[in-house]
Structure 1
Amino acid sequence: HEHACLRLDTEGKTLIIDPGSFTLPLSDLTDLVAVVLTHEHPDHWTPKQLDAILADAPGTPIFGPAGVAAAASDHEITVVSPGETIEVGPFTLEFFGGTHNVIHESIPVIDNVGVLVNDAFYYPGDSYAVPEGRDVALLAAPVGAPWLKIGDAMDYVLAVRPRRAFGTHDMTLSRIGLDMHRDRLRWATEQNDGEFLILEPGEATDI
């Protein structure tokens, strides 16, 4: 979905990652089993988004690092940490990283977790955390952010070596900038014989 929000479906169940301020309201959540919030910044979660999700799917567990639990204190957050693995419905969630990438020395560094889903799909949140030793079938690679230089993003894709990748975290880019940055990540993906996908909001691919 828009910006950094991702939806995974398997065996008739749904997992939502990072529904934030740039994301349109989500629908068809009757089979939602969990929400993962990688960190506390509002482009990755808002109280309004969580309230709307929980209105459609009451009791859905929400997972995030300690910083999210502090920021979202009006909601029940299950705290997760790097190195932890959780089973929820048909999804196995393994967490990596621990800190948000540096934006500027004047801005405090916050908690951030990357999440590997079913040992196949990986999203690092706002970080370059590599899931060491994992064969990533599909990588959601950040392509535009205040903390992101495209050369670093290219190096990140080269380090992860995904079989397939697509760009996410992109609402801060113009269309021209988005196309340019996607081309850079395409090059990086193809260096290890991977395939780069173009996914617009609402589009999907199989893993």
Structure 2
Amino acid sequence: MRLTKLEHSCVLLEKGPNRLYVDPGKFTTPITETSHVDAVIITHEHDDHWTPEQLSRIASRSPGVKVLTTEATAAQLKVADIRDLGEVIVGKPGERVQLGEFTVTCFGGTHAEIHSSIPLIDNIGVVVDGDFAYGGDSYELPPGGFTIGALAVPTYGPWMRIAESIDYILEVRPRAVVGVHEMLLARAGKDLAASRLREAVESYGGKFLDLKPFDVLELDDLN
């Protein structure tokens, strides 16, 4: 399986011609490579993780594309009434869902707290083909955790501290870490955050992959 890092929270996973997008939001360059898309995963409702415009572009070239998301986001998709969109599946923690060529297991359930005055919302994390995990805007793990090849880890967000991302890495201890959720940082901030995450990963012998937009990782190479 191949991973392409796009801007901010979005990644593209590919198996042969089959594609799976995760969190194509407003800080991601308009997505145009949208043929053969099996599904889109939206971890939660915030617009830096999905927009009707991004989904419309994908559905126009991949009619019937499925979406895996939260209940609240599913309701917003219904209102958006996106042409050619296929089945919308509400993911529940512990459930396994087949999305075309991709096997996805859901975990988590709640977005990290931004502030006590702001209501918490649903958030789903996903493990794709048992090899790549992405928790959305949350550090929740499935009961008992997991052993994973590559883990997407937030670099910056108004709901997080870098210490939480470091603790997340040290608890999971993946073979490789990919930094995401970085587009609100200036270059100096990105470099500083990456250096802290790299120290954490390398402390147990893992590898930090400071992927830039459109950089590609062959996940099979991590085995």
Instruction: Give, as a single letter, the amino acid of the residue that structure 2 aligns with 1:106.
Output: S
Q: Is residue 126 of structure 1 aligned with residue 142 of structure 2? A: no
Shift of 1:31: 1.2
Instruction: Give the aligned partner of residue 9 of structure 1.
Output: 14
Contact 1:123-1:141 within 8 A present in 2 as well: yes
Gaps of at least 5 residues in structure 2 are: 1-5, 82-86
Q: Which residue of 2 aligns with 1:186?
A: 198
1:138–1:165 CA contact under 8 A, matched in 2 = yes
The answer to whether residue 23 in structure 2 is matched with residue 18 in structure 1 is yes
Determine whether 1:29 maps to 2:39: no
Residues 127-170 of structure 1: CA deviation (Å, up to 9, x unaligned): 00224442110011111000110111111111111100111000
What secondary structure does 1:205 align onto?
strand
Q: Secondary structure at the match of 1:45?
A: coil
Q: How far apart are 1:56 and its partner, in Å?
A: 1.5
Alignment partner of 2:192: what SS?
helix
Bigger mean CA offset, 72-81 vs 5-14: 72-81
Match of 2:106 among 87, 92, 95: 95
Which of 196, 199, 203 pairs up with 2:215? 203
2:32 is matched by which residue type in structure 1? S
Post-superposition shift, 1:126?
0.2
Distance 2:140 2:217 in 1: 23
- RMSD across aligned C-alpha pairs, in angstroms? 1.2
Aligned residue pairs total 207
Contact 1:11 1:90 in 2 (8 A): no
Note if 1:174 corresponds to 2:189: no
Are the counterparts in 1 of residues 43 and 125 from structure 2 also a CA contact under 8 Å? Answer: yes
| Counterpart code for 1:122 | A
Q: Aligned to 1:144, which of 146, 156, 169?
A: 156
Where relative contact order (Cα < 8 A, 6+ residues apart) is larger, the structure is: 2
Counterpart CA distance in 2 for 1:56 and 1:12 is 14
Matches of 1:129 and 1:186, distance apart in 2: 21
Amino acid in the other structure paired with 2:146:
R
- Please list, as runs of the form range in 1=range in 2, the aligned pairs for 1:74-113 lying within 5 A after superposition: 74=79, 75=81, 77-113=88-124
Letter in 2 for 1:41: H
Q: Distance in 1 between matches of 2:78 and 2:203?
A: 44
Q: Following TM superposition, by how much is the alpha carbon of 1:172 offset from its aligned partner in structure 2, in angstroms?
A: 0.8
Residue 137 of structure 2 aligns with an amino acid whose one-letter code is D
Shift of 1:26: 1.2
Q: What's the TM-score, normalizing by structure 1?
A: 0.96
Q: Partner amino acid for 1:167? A: G
Partner amino acid, structure 2, of 1:120 = D
Displacement after TM superposition at 1:53 (Å): 1.1
Percent identity among equivalent residues? 44
Distance 2:173 2:110 in 1: 21
Contact 1:112 1:127 in 2 (8 A): yes
SS in 2 for 1:61: strand
Contact 1:2–1:22 under 8 Å retained in 2:
yes
